[in-house]
Amino acid sequence: MALCCSLCLLLLSCQALALGGGMLYPRESASRELKELNGIWSFRADFSEQRDQGFVQQWYRKPLRQSGPVIDMPVPASFNELTQNPNLRKYTGWVWYEKEVLLPRSWLPNALNTRVVLRVGSAHYYSIVWVNGVQVTEHEGGHLPFEADISRIVQGGSRAACRITIALNNTLTPQTLPPGSIQFMRDESKYPRGYFVQNTRFDFFNYAGIHRPVVLYTTPSVYIDDITVTTAWAGNIGVVRYQVLVTGSTRYSLSLNLREKEGKVVAMGEGPIGELKVVEPKLWWPYLMHENPGYLYYLEVKLLAQVGGELSEDVYTLPIGIRTVHVTSSQFLINGKPFYFHGVNKHEDADIRGKGLDWSLIVKDLNLLQWLGANSFRTSHYPYAEEIMELCDAYGIVVIDECPGVGMRDPENFGNASLAHHLVVMEELIRRDKNRPSVVMWSVANEPASELSPAAYYFKTVIAHTKAIDPTRPVTFVSNANYAHDHGAPYVDVICVNSYFSWYHDAGHLEVIQLQLNTQFESWYETYQKPIIQSEYGADSIAGLHNDPPLMFSEEYQKAVLKEYHSVFDKKRKDYVIGELIWNFADFMTDQATSRVLGNKKGIFTRQRQPKAAAFVLRDRYWKLANESSCLRPTLTYYNL
């Protein structure tokens, strides 16, 4: 009873943490302009002992070059591998970015009804932003966007110049997501004075920088701040339920048009809350599940308001897909039909650019997913760029959307401060991706120490909060704990399990995989009676390294591991296994370690996106699975890109 009361009190307090306003993806329209700030920025890392020189000397008050030397730094990109300075590659602390831009004349004081917003797509991990020396916002956490209304600053004079300064700190603490710790080396016979290292409990490189686009955009002073859409269908009628949040005035009118891809209006509505009905709707289907996957409608929202005696208009168009998601004790249903996840885990990771958004890489990866016959992926282990998510909506790629709850291995990661931050991160993630048809499930963590007793209360709270914000999608987290000791599993809708039999366990013994994997599945299902996804499995292989019989790190061994797993998947998917996601899509960078040769080599593609032998094993399997489960005829060879 006491636990229930505590949970209720915490959930009530969470409402006070609820984010104010929306986070609509910036799109140009008849009422909105957009100016991208990508390109070269001025940059400086603060190498002072306390990493605080920039604040002591107030570098934000004048152009950065006037307080010391700067270097060129591209945005978006990670800063770690763009210079020949090894100290910058492993740098921990504050770095400073600056960009000077000229604003269009139409945005300046004579435009009384123009609101100017600065938006950062993602910066790692703590950000403070100034415009013309005035602090406008700060944000904790990477991977998710944040913004600030800067109208008052840039429209306060006649100058069109706008100097944007962003200070970033990539330090991880036990309360951040992901968590980490700073370890000071006190023995001055071994380490220089003040020497410290950043420790983490996750297996990917802690890239830092401004990783996604920075933009300026405008809206009218009375504007569409947020749109929430849910969909359903029955028979030949599709239903789009909507809620529109307007900011700036309480006196306005709203009209809505739902358009097909070709532009034809199929439904109309008025007011901030309502529903639109579509006769004979074209449903949003996953890739390879329908001949027309990823079908999107376009919800055009038009706002009219009186501002200063004149009529003001704001227009925003939101892509939406009509589809449903439902989970039973043994199936995952999309639009009422069983869906089997055959896909990958990925990383935002590439040579030189690190985690920086790169359109060429995004398009290449989506082409490789189609070539592979993959219908899904998990955003391991953090939210991916909105630009990637946009294309998943359009291509019909199903996404398990994961927050940055990775590396939670210590008891202090489950305290009240961590929990409060975790709840806010889930709010930010759902606010950003709630309208995406490609997102079918939220994942609140990867491989936490869920066997620890505090994990029960922690995950009960996080999952309840996630469901309260979005009751339309199932919630999971990814476990590598023993099924009998996992305190978070009772609260998830789908069991996601990571295992690396014959790699991290019984290394080199391929003969034990089928027995151990079968035992794993039966134990989890007997205990929880919930559908199961094998959310990670695999083995490292060095491209071009061959050995027969198969030995670890050879391409042959990676193939052999996959085939042993697949034999069990084929038996259990007839019952309650609903998916298999290979670890990993491509090789990726990690911290240096004796077990890592320039990163993690579990990719079925190299880091440069060239296939290993395992890629062809998966390709044959995924196309076979697609043809078995699809009602499409003839065989789906026309997708064979």
Q: So which residues are the catalytic ones?
A: 447
What are phi and psi for residue 198, nearest 5 degrees?
-95, 115
Return d(Cα 529, Cα 532) in angstroms, integer: 9
Sheet strands (E) in 309-438: 310-320, 325-327, 332-334, 337-338, 341-345, 376-378, 398-402
Phi-psi region of 227 (alpha: psi -120 to 50; beta: other; left: phi over 0): beta
Cis preceding-peptide flag for 170 (omega within 30 of 0): no
Residue 409 CA: distances (Å) to CA of 177, 490, 515: 12, 19, 28
Return d(Cα 384, Cα 397) in angstroms, integer: 14
**Residue 542, exposed/middle/buried by CB under 10 A (0-12, 13-18, 19+)?**
middle
Give kind and range of the element (H or E) at residue 634.
none
Give kind and range of the element (H or E) at residue 525.
helix 513-528
Return d(Cα 560, Cα 512) in angstroms, integer: 12
What letter would DSSP give residue 201? S
Return d(Cα 231, Cα 218) in angstroms, integer: 29
Angle at 389 between CA 393 and CA 235, to 5 degrees: 25
- Contacts of residue 191, defined as CB under 8 A and 6 or more positions apart, other chains included, come to 185
- Nearest-CA neighbor of 346 among 588, 626, 539? 588
Residue with tokens 């799109």: 27
User: What are the DSSP calls for 577-591, one per residue?
Assistant: EEEEEES-SB-B---
Residue 134 CA: distances (Å) to CA of 130, 408, 465, 595: 5, 36, 35, 47
- Burial code (b: 16+ CB inside 10 Å, e: under 16) for 57-82 equals eebbeeebeebeebeebbbbbbbbbb
Q: Which long-range contacts (CB under 8 A, 24 or more apart) does 555-561 make?
A: 555/612, 555/613, 555/614, 556/613, 557/510, 558/602, 558/604, 558/612, 558/613, 558/614, 559/613, 559/614, 559/617, 560/510, 561/502, 561/503, 561/510, 561/513, 561/537
Q: Report helix, strand or coil for 117.
A: strand
